[in-house]
A and B are shown apart, each in its own frame.
Chain A
Amino acid sequence: MERTIVEAINLALFREMKRDKNVVVLGEDVGRNGGVFRVTDGLQKKFGENRVMDTPLSEAGIVAASIGMAVAGLRPVAEIQFSGFLYAGIDHLISHASRIRHRSRGAFSCPLVIRTPYGGGIRALEHHSESMEALYCHIPGLKVVVPSTPYEAKGLLAAAIRDNDPVIFFEPQRLYRQIKEEVPDKEYVIPLGKCKLAREGKDVTIISWGAMLQVVKDAASRVDIDCEIVNVMTLKPLDMQTIINSVKKTGRCIIVHEAPKTSGFGAEIIARLNEEIFGELKAPVERVAGFDTVFPLYKMERLYLPNVVRVVEAMKRVMSY
C-alpha cells in the first residue's frame, strides 16, 4: 500500500507497540491530538493513556522522563515537536542518556528513541526549520538516524526502537507528505549503521541525507554526467565502507547537507575520506551546505537552502580537475 512518511512512521509505531508492550510513546499533543503532524494519530485510542502519554509542555522534562523510563525497563519513543526545541533537552542527552551504559559498566542502559521533525522548506516560524544533527553526532554514546523515504522511515524507526542505545531520529518534515511509495504492512527492519546507494554512477559520488536527497536526485537527473548517490541514513555510527567503495570508484565527491557549513557533518566525512583514501581522490571534496547564519525566517528560506543550481555548480568544480 502506498504511504507517506507520516503514515509509515505511524504504522511502524503501531507495529512496534503491538510487538513489545514495553514500547511507550510520550510527548506534547501526541495522544488526544495525534501529534501536530498527525504522526501518532490513533495510537492513544488503540493502546490507552498509559502507553501514549500527553505530557506537560517541557522538552527537558520529556527527555528526562524518557531516560528515567528507559533505565527502569521501558522502551520510550519520545516526540519532540520540532528539533529546534530539543536543545532544552540536550543537557540530559549529554549528561545522562549518552553515558549511562558507560558509567555503570553495562549495569544500566538507555534504550530510548527521540523522534523529531527537522529541516527547512516548509515556510515555518523561527526555530521550526533547524538542522543541527551534527551536534548530536558529536556526543559519544548517541546514535543519529535520518530517513528520507516512507519505506526507510518505517524500517529505520523499527530498528531504532529495537536498538538498545539512545537514538535520535530526525524526520525530514519537508518530505512528510511529499513522497508516497509502497510501504509493506508486514514487519521489516532496516539495520542502523549502513548507508545505501540511491543511484549508481561512475563520474562522481554525491553523499547526502534527509530532504536534501530530493535536491540531489533532481540535480543528478538534469546533468550529462553519471552521478552515484549515497544516502547515509545513519549518520552515527557511520558506514564508511560504503562511502569509501563509492569514492574509490568515482574519485570525486560532493557532500550536500542543509545544516550550516562550518562543523556540519560533511566536515567529518571529508576528514575520514582524507584519512582512508586520500590517494584515490582526483579532486578535493566539495560541500554544498547551508550558510553559517541563523536559519532565516521563511522569506529568505529559499536563498539559504541548497538547491539544484548550487549542486550543479559543485559538480562543475569537482569535474574540473
Chain B
Amino acid sequence: MAYEFKFPDVGEGIQEGTIVKWLVKEGDAVDADQALGEIETDKAIVEIPSPKAGTIIRLHVKEGGVIRVGQTMVTIKESGEEKKDAGTVIGFLDDGEKQKAEKIHIPRKEGKAGLAAESKGVKVQKKYDMFGYIDRVPFSGIRKAIAEHMAESIRTTAQVTHMQQADVTKLAVLREKEKKKAESEDVKLTYLPYVVKAVVAALKKHPMLNSTLDEAAGEIRVKKYYNIGIAVDEGDGLRVPVVKGADQKDTITIAKEIQNFAKVGKKLNPMDMKGGSFTITNLGHLGVEYFTPVINYPEVAILGMGDIQDEAVVKEGKVVVRKILPLSLSYDHRVVDGREAALFMKDLVEALFSPA
C-alpha cells in the first residue's frame, strides 16, 4: 500500500514550510517515527517523523522548495498491515473542496417588503381608503383555512355540476311514518339520513365517485368504504363531520350521529372530520334550490341538497303536485365523465323516488 504523507499542521496557524533538508532519500527503508526531514516554518525549524514503517517511494518536494499544509510531501510504501479507516461520523462540505463549476441553486420567492407587519393581523389605523370609509377584518384562522381549502379544490379539480330534481313524495310519507319511532329515541329525523342511504346505494353502483386521484402516484384510489361527510354551518364556521361506514348503519343511527355532531358543534373531535370519501352539503333550509358546491378535495364528488318544496310537475300529460328535492352534483371531470355522473344521478334519483 502506498501511503501519501501530507504536510500536517505542525503549529498554530502555520500554512506552509520550506524543506531545509531531507534526511532520507528515495528507496530508503524507514521505521515509524524516524525523522524524514527538516522543515522551516515561520515559527521554527521542525523535524518531521515518518508516520509509517516502509520504503520511501517518492519525495515530492526538493530541498529549498515550499510545501503547503495538506500537500503530499512523501509517498511511502508501507510494510505491515494498514489501519482501517473508521470514517467520519458527520460529513459536511469541506472548506477546502474544489470549486464546483455548477452553482448551488437557491430557490427564491419574489418576497414582499413589510410582509411581517401584515400577516400578524396587525390592526392598522386608517378607517378609509380613497373612495370612502372601510372596515378592516383580519383574514386569518378558520376563514383563511377554508379559503385555502376551497381555492385548492377549484384550482386542482376539473369541476362540473349536474343539476337534477328528485321526486321525494314517497320518501316524505316514509319519513312521516318513521318519525314517531325516531322521536321515541330522542332523534329528530330529517331527509338527510335517507339521502345518505340513497347516495351509498348509488355509489355502490358507481364507485368512481367514491374515490381520490393521486396524480403523483399515478393512480385513482377507489374507496371500498362509505364515509359520508355532512357539511355543517351553524353560522359559527363551516365543518364537515363524517358518518363512517354509512352502508352499515340504518337511517335512525345515521340521524342520531348527525344530531350528535350538531350538538358538539365547534368542539368536534378532529378524528370525526377525517376519512371522508364523499360529502353532502345542504342549503335547503336557507331556501337555496340549485347551486354549484365546491368538491371537498381530495374527494371526487359532492352532492348539494336544495329546499324541498311542493311543486307542480307534469306527469302523463297531467299537472300534479309532487314533493321535489333539488340536487346539485359537482364532480371532478378528471376522474369521472359526464355519462358516469349522469348515471349516478339517475340511480340516486331512483333510489330517492322509491325508498326501501
Q: Do chains A and B touch in the complex (CB under 8 A)?
A: yes
Q: Quick one: which of B12, B92, B103, B116 has the most chain A CB within 10 A?
A: B12
For residue A177, which residues in chain B have a CB less than 8 angstroms away from its CB?
A: 13-16, 42
B9 at the interface (CB under 8 A from A): yes
For residue A37, which residues in chain B have a CB less than 8 angstroms away from its CB?
A: 12-13, 43
Q: Which residues of B62-121 have CB atoms within 8 Å of chain A's CB atoms? A: 90, 92-93, 95, 99-100, 103-109, 111-117
Return B14 CB to nearest CB of chain A, in Å: 7
Smallest CB-CB separation from B112: which chain A residue?
A: A282
Return A121 CB to nearest CB of chain B, in Å: 9
25 CB < 8 A contacts A-B: A37-B13, A37-B43, A38-B42, A122-B12, A128-B12, A173-B12, A173-B13, A176-B13, A177-B42, A221-B99, A222-B99, A223-B104, A223-B105, A224-B103, A278-B117, A279-B113, A281-B114, A282-B111, A282-B112, A303-B90, A309-B92, A312-B106, A319-B108, A320-B109, A321-B109
Partner of B12, one of A124, A215, A281: A124
Count class of interface residues, chain B: 20 to 34
A273-284 interface code vs B (CB 8 A; 1 in, 0 out): 000001111111
Smallest CB-CB separation from B14: which chain A residue?
A: A177
A251 at the interface (CB under 8 A from B): yes
Return A264 CB to nearest CB of chain B, in Å: 21
B9 touches A284 (CB 8 A): no
A16 at the interface (CB under 8 A from B): no
Return B349 CB to nearest CB of chain A, in Å: 50
A203 at the interface (CB under 8 A from B): yes
A287-319 interface code vs B (CB 8 A; 1 in, 0 out): 000000000000000110001110010011001
Return B46 CB to nearest CB of chain A, in Å: 15
For residue A181, which residues in chain B have a CB less than 8 angstroms away from its CB?
A: none
Q: Which residues of A5-59 have CB atoms within 8 Å of chain B's CB atoms? A: 6, 36-38
Return B114 CB to nearest CB of chain A, in Å: 4
A215 touches B95 (CB 8 A): yes
Partner of A178, one of B15, B104, B105, B114: B15
State whether A280 and B114 are in contact (beta carbons under 8 Å apart), knowing that A122-B12, A221-B99, A319-B109 are contacts in the complex.
yes
Partner of B13, one of A174, A303, A308: A174
